[in-house]
Amino acid sequence: MPKLVPSQKFLKDIEKFQSNASMRKKIAKTLTYLENNPFHPGLHLERIVNDPTAWSVRVDRKFRISFDPEDFFPSGNPDWTTSVLLLRFLDHDDLYKFPR
């Protein structure tokens, strides 16, 4: 189970939703799933193609969270037992253009 470490950009992104209780609940649920089981089917975990190490998970139909695993195995797969740096929380299209 990875430890989640938020970046400053991630914190700034989610701050915009401080007064939106519904979105805060969705974000918390997604982060709980990511921390407990990165392979949970509800996360829709996928690699970000235009970034060599970034991945993303779905929060809802519009928003995703990008993150960067701290360690990788020699095969190139992430080591899900180490820390994960939370990069951004953006809508789908923006996140895939600017994952960091």
Q: pLDDT per residue over 34-70, tens digit each? A: 999 999 999 999 999 888 889 999 999 999 999 999 9
| Bridge partner list, 57 | 65
List helix spans (H) across the chain: 8-15, 21-36, 92-97
The CATH label, of 3.30.2310.20, 1.10.150.110, 3.40.190.80, 2.60.290.11, for the domain at 4-74+81-97 is 3.30.2310.20
Q: What are phi and psi of 6, to 5 degrees?
A: -80, 140
Average pLDDT over residues 23-30: 96
Percent of the chain scoring above 90 in pLDDT = 76
> What is the reported pLDDT for 77?
85
| Bridge partner list, 89 | 65
> What is the reported pLDDT for 85?
95
What is the value of pTM for the model shown? 0.91
Please state, in angstroms and rounded to a whole number, the distance separating the CA atoms of residues 59 and 46.
Answer: 13
Q: Where are the domains of the chain?
A: 4-74+81-97
